Structures are given as C-alpha cells and as structure tokens.
Amino acid sequence: MKKIASSAIFLFLCSVIIFISPLQAKETPCVAPDCIEFPKDAGFINVRDFGATGDGITDDTDSINAALATSGDDTGSLFWQDKIVYFPAGTYLVSETISKKYKNGNFASGAVMIGKSSKETIIKLKDNASGYDNPSSPKAVIFTSSKLLDGSPTSGNKDYINKGEGNDSYNNFVENMTIDVGEGNAGAIGIDYLANNFGAVRNVAIKSSAQSGAIGISLKRKWAGPALLSNVTIEGFDTGIETDNTEYGITIDSLILKNQRKIGLLNNHNVVSANNLQISGSPQPLINQAEDGLVVLVGSELESSEKKAEAYINKGTMNIRNSIANGKAIDGVYEKNNMLSASAQDWSLPVKQSPETIKEPMKNWVAVNLSQTDEDATGAVRKAFNSGASSIYFPYGNYDISDNIIIPASVQRIIGMGSTIRAVKQRSPKFSRELGFLRVTGGGNPLTIEHLAFDNSYLGDQVGVELSGKRSLILRDVVGAGVTTLKRTATGGEAFLENTCCGLLDFAGKNGIWARQLNTEGGRARIVNDGAPLWVLGIKTERNCTVLENKNGAQTEVLGGLLYIVQPPEKPMPAFRNIDAKLLVSYAEEAFDPKATYQTHIMGSKKGVENIVKADDLPKRNKARMAGQIVNN
C-alpha cells in the first residue's frame, strides 16, 4: 500500500509539473536562422516587463501597447533614437490593434518591434475579434504611423489626426515574428505599414485561415516608403500586398505570396522594386493598376492559379528581368502592353546576397561600457573592439569619440541598439574627417554593422564608415546623418547596404557594391562611383541633387526608385552624370510643381562625345517623368 500511495503521489506531482511548465518554461536556445536575443544591459524594452505573457490565453494587447509607448518620445530630427521593443518566444494573443502613440496621445514613429524568431514569436488576433469582420472597412493587427515633424495634420491632404498618415514615419520595424489573424476576422489586415526613409518588415510570416484576412500588408496610407520588405511570407488573404499613392517607393527582396484568394500584389500609383518575388496560388498574381505606377521585377516568378489568367496585368510601366510568368521566361521593359526594349544588357551585373552574419551565443557578446562620467567614449570602444570578441554591442545611447577607430579583424558583428556615434564637442585637428569614425582597414571574415547611427549634423564633412581593407562589409539598418555614410576606397572589399539612410556615398575600386533600399537626401552628388560595379535595388532621393556621378569605367544599375526634387531649383542639376562609364537606370520622378523637376536626366559623355537625355525624351508621369529604363554607355 505504501508503494501504491507513493506512486500515486509521484504521478500527481508529475501531472502538476507538466501542467504548469508552459508558464514557467525558460527561453529555448537561440538556434533559428533569424533568432535574436539581447543582453539585459543593452537598453531595450521587453514586453514581458509590461505584463505581456505570451501564453496564447491572456489578452496581451494593453501590455504590448504600453511597452511601445515607453520606447521613446518624439526626438524630433533624431528620428532613429527609439528603443527596441523585444518579444521573447511565445504566442501573444491580441484583440485590438498594436500601435505606438506618444504620451500626449498623438501617433508616433519609432515602433521597433523585434521578436525572438519568426517561428517562436507569434502575435495572434483573437478569433472573431470585435471590429475585424468587415473586409470593406479593414482593420490592422499591427499599425505603424508617422509623427508630425513638419507641416500641419492635413498638409498634402493627409489625415494625421485619424490615420497617423504623413512622411515622418521613420524607424518603424517589424521583425522576426509571425502574425496570425485568426479565424472569423474577414476584415483583418496583418500589418498596416507606414515607414519613411528607414524601416523594414523583415523575417516575418503573415497568415490567415478560414476566410479570414483582407490584406496581408497594406501600404495604402499617405505616404508609404521608402521602406524594405525582406524575407516575408504572406498566405491566405484576399490580397497579399496592396499599395497606393505616388510616393515614396517600396523595395522587396525575397518575398513569398501564396494562396491569396484574389490578388497577390496590387500596386496603385507607387514604385515597387522587387528581387526574388514569388507569387503563386492566386487567381491574379500581380496588377500594376495605374498609369503612373512602376514595377521592377528581378529574378521573380509569377504563377496564376487559373489556367487562362495572365500572370500580370500592367496599366503603367514595368521592367522585368530574368523572371518567369506562368512558366515562361520573360525579360523586357513594358509600357502597358507595349514592349519598349530588353531589360538585361550584356554587361548586366550579377545579383549577390549579403554574406551570412555571424551567429554566436549572446553570452559571448562584449559591450562598449561607459561610466557615468565618461564624456569621451573612444577608449571604451577600443577596449571592446580589442577584447578578442567577435560580437560587440553598443547599449542604447550616445557615444562621443575623439579619434578615428580601427575595427580589428577579430570583430565580425557590431550591434547598435538605436545607438549613435558622434564626434566630441572639442574636436582635435588629428581627428580626420576623411577617415571614418569607424575604419575597416584589414582583411578577415565579413563584418556586419547594424542598427547604428553616425551623426555629424551641421558640423562639417565626416566619413561614418571607411572600408579600405579587403574584408566584405555589410551595413544593415544604418543611418548616416551629416556624414558620408560609407567611403569605400580602391583597396576595399565588397560592400552590401541594406536599408541605409540618409548620407552621402563614395565608392572606388573594382569590387562590387550591392544596395537594397537606399535612401540618400540633400544637395550635391549623393553617390560618387569611381570605377566600381554598383547594383541598386530601390533608391529614393530628395532635394535638388545629382543622384549619381558615375565615372572611370564604373558600371551601375539602378533598378527601381523615386527621385523627388521637392522645390523648384535655383541651379538645376542633372539627375545622373555618366562619364566614360556604363549606366542603366529605371525610376519614376515625383513632382507637385512642374518647375520642380529634372530638365536633364542624364548628362553622359564617352571619350568627350556627349550623350544627353532630356526630360522631353521621357514619357510624362503626372507633372514629372517616368524612366522605365535608360541605358547610357
């Protein structure tokens, strides 16, 4: 009897442990390819600290919104200075829209939402949630918005008060998670996404079930872009992605749209630049709906679920390269149904993905540690870099340095937490402006720098990152304010830029540069390419500038983007200069004043013989011009 009683007690205790273990379970090891964790002292916000449980039962809506509200107040022009809001593994049940607002109740930018991984972090809308039943009036699960930095709440006919619209929607990120719109929610939008200049939806799965889901990602509010959608899968909605408005451009890299009930991707007026876009299982895979819409497809595949349906409908301009439509290879530049030219050239550049970023346990990361009295971070940065660690992180904050700092070969990953590197106020003459704040001078494994800003606004010229060594460099989610974001010298290795904003760029040498979602704003020549192969997917410029000076045997392809002068220029500049080099560009121009346009689109010359492309050589796009493709060599 004693043995029977002991066994019963043992079984009872086991059942209790099994029952309560999900609520007490520790975080699983970080093994997924997109898995990310942050050290406790990194300066991020954990939704669990605000009461979110992630148990799939408790309504976590209020807790998540409270965490977002604490991630940063309005920082004005320092738009990148918001804390990351982190979602550990779990299923976070919500019944209302997730969004960030400031303490005064106004819509906010700077919603940086990062989960542990796309499979382990799930935001799930409650089944039959209130307000999500009407596809004619859809409602978002996640909603990102603009702050109001310039203009009035109604300037440009936007509705900031009610919709959070505007062109100050900086630093909005949704990463490493699954959004499940649940059942019985026919009017659900997975992500109603607004971002400008610097933002991404990355490593995200958006799914619906049982006739739920109106739109996977909506980009219909004023004014979406430039922004990046990367490594995203959307399944089972009426429409996978829908855009509207004539600005500011969406860049897509590695995106899967499958089994939408009506349309895979619907572009209305905007510019969509896509590499490796896969659309299948939809009656109508892609529609470029408006005459002023531009869609650029590279290495993509469109397959209709209906045998007699077209893979795409084009009422505007499309540039399609190395792609497949309903099983047939396709290459060409099209205006509506008319093919204007081939897309690829015999010198077209290869499409290359960024090298893998090193993944190692968080316990091996080394922090840049500043004491409360440190006004000069140079020593602390060098100490961390010289520690021998492969991964270095800058806890959230500002780091003022007094010298150019070399990154040793041992460092393979630098993680900023929305942190900023600046020059000290009393600058020494030995602190070179021509060398980088951070210098990559030697060989070694690829180096990734991510979520870090280099700020020298209104303080003269400065290089943010200098690449003169042979190792490859990846800049991901990097801001350059008042700097040349990257200077790659003739001896520098390959460079990869992903979602970078907003500084100048200076390239030399024969190694390649690949850029995805490249935003650069201001005057003068924004990009100087002296002899390098340069491939750009999705570019956006603003103000009176020359987008690119291409020279001395350089080969540049710009596949999709938007050019926007804003105001009539006092001294007009050509959009592109191409001197003894090869240039291929595809873009749309935006203008609300016919005088605020480029009169010369390409100022080209070869061995002294001019080859100029004027505005009158290009078809109109409202008050501006459309360049489906221009080749100048």
Please report the pLDDT score of residue 20 as a whole number. Answer: 38
For residue 177, give the amino acid letter.
Answer: M
Is the preceding omega at residue 312 within 30 degrees of 0, hence cis? no
Task: For residue range 132-182, list pLDDT tens digits in order.
Answer: 999 999 999 999 999 999 889 999 999 999 999 999 999 999 999 999 999
Please report whether residue 359 resides in a domain: no
Residues 611, 462 share a domain: yes
Please report whether residue 601 resides in a domain: yes
Please report the pLDDT score of residue 26 as a whole number. Answer: 56
Contact present, 468 and 443 (Cβ < 8 Å): no
Which of 290, 314, 341 is at the close of a domain?
A: 341
Please report whether residue 356 resides in a domain: no
Cα 239 to Cα 256: distance, rounded to the nearest angstrom: 13
Cα 416 to Cα 403: distance, rounded to the nearest angstrom: 19
Task: For residue range 527-569, list pLDDT tens digits in order.
Answer: 999 999 999 999 999 999 999 999 999 999 999 999 999 999 9
Please report whether residue 23 resides in a domain: no
Residues 200, 330 share a domain: yes
Please report whether residue 346 resides in a domain: no
Confidence band (pLDDT; 50, 70, 90) for 89?
A: very high
Residues 454, 323 share a domain: no
Block residue for tokens 């619906």: 208
* Residue range of the domain that includes 314: 45-341
Lowest mean pLDDT among 16-20, 72-76, 385-389, 623-627: 16-20
3-state helix, strand, coil in the chain (%, to 5): 10, 45, 45
Please report the pLDDT score of residue 74 as a whole number. Answer: 92
* Segment 203-210 mean pLDDT: 94
Is the preceding omega at residue 226 within 30 degrees of 0, hence cis? yes
Residue 16 pLDDT more than 80? no
Residues 611, 558 share a domain: yes
Block residue for tokens 């390419």: 529
Confidence band (pLDDT; 50, 70, 90) for 28?
A: confident
Cα 234 to Cα 448: distance, rounded to the nearest angstrom: 28
Contact present, 301 and 324 (Cβ < 8 Å): yes
Please report the pLDDT score of residue 5 as a whole number. Answer: 44
Residues 382, 333 share a domain: no
Confidence band (pLDDT; 50, 70, 90) for 27?
A: low
Please report whether residue 364 resides in a domain: no
Please report the pLDDT score of residue 68 as a whole number. Answer: 98
Contact present, 531 and 506 (Cβ < 8 Å): no
Please report the pLDDT score of residue 484 as a whole number. Answer: 98
Cα 414 to Cα 29: distance, rounded to the nearest angstrom: 21
Which of 341, 366, 389 is at the close of a domain?
A: 341
How many distinct structural domains can be found in the chain? 2
Residues 198, 78 share a domain: yes
* Segment 571-593 mean pLDDT: 97
Residues 398, 322 share a domain: no
Please report the pLDDT score of residue 533 as a whole number. Answer: 98
Cα 385 to Cα 391: distance, rounded to the nearest angstrom: 9
Task: For residue range 225-273, list pLDDT tens digits in order.
Answer: 999 999 999 999 999 999 999 999 999 999 999 999 999 999 999 999 9
Residues 612, 476 share a domain: yes
- Maximum alpha-carbon separation in the chain: 104
Q: Tell me the C-alpha to C-alpha distance, in Å, between residue 542 and each of 147, 159, 457, 501, 522.
A: 19, 23, 17, 12, 6
> What percent of the chain is modeled with pLDDT above 70?
96
DSSP strand pairing (328-335 vs 338-341): antiparallel
- pTM attached to this predicted model: 0.95
Cα 441 to Cα 466: distance, rounded to the nearest angstrom: 8
Backbone dihedral angles phi then psi of residue 414, each to the nearest 5 degrees: -120, 120
Measured over the CA atoms of residue 546, residue 548, residue 552 and residue 556, the dihedral's sign is negative
Q: Tell me the C-alpha to C-alpha distance, in Å, between residue 163 and each of 105, 108, 140, 147, 314.
A: 13, 11, 12, 11, 30
* Segment 458-468 mean pLDDT: 97
* Segment 389-418 mean pLDDT: 98
Please report the pLDDT score of residue 211 as a whole number. Answer: 86
DSSP string, 586-598: EEEEE-SSTTSS-
The closest of 356, 366, 419, 422 to 390, measured between CA atoms, is 366
Please report whether residue 7 resides in a domain: no
For residue 144, give the DSSP letter.
-
Please report the pLDDT score of residue 540 as a whole number. Answer: 98
Cα 102 to Cα 253: distance, rounded to the nearest angstrom: 32
Please report the pLDDT score of residue 344 as a whole number. Answer: 95
> What percent of the chain is modeled with pLDDT above 90?
92
Please report the pLDDT score of residue 371 as a whole number. Answer: 83
Residues 417, 302 share a domain: no
Please report whether residue 482 resides in a domain: yes
What's the CATH number where 620 sits? 2.160.20.10
Chain-wide mean pLDDT for the chain? 94
H or E segment to which residue 34 belongs? none
DSSP string, 51-116: T---EEEEE-HHHHHHHHHTS----TT-TT--PPEEE-SEEEEESS-B--B-TTS-B-S--EEEES
Confidence band (pLDDT; 50, 70, 90) for 1?
A: very low
Confidence band (pLDDT; 50, 70, 90) for 17?
A: very low
Residues 396, 292 share a domain: no
Task: For residue range 310-329, list pLDDT tens digits in order.
Answer: 999 999 999 999 999 999 99
Please report the pLDDT score of residue 151 as a whole number. Answer: 84
Please report the pLDDT score of residue 3 as a whole number. Answer: 39
Which of 314, 341, 368 is at the close of a domain?
A: 341
H or E segment to which residue 7 belongs? helix 2-24
Residues 485, 544 share a domain: yes
Residues 420, 317 share a domain: no
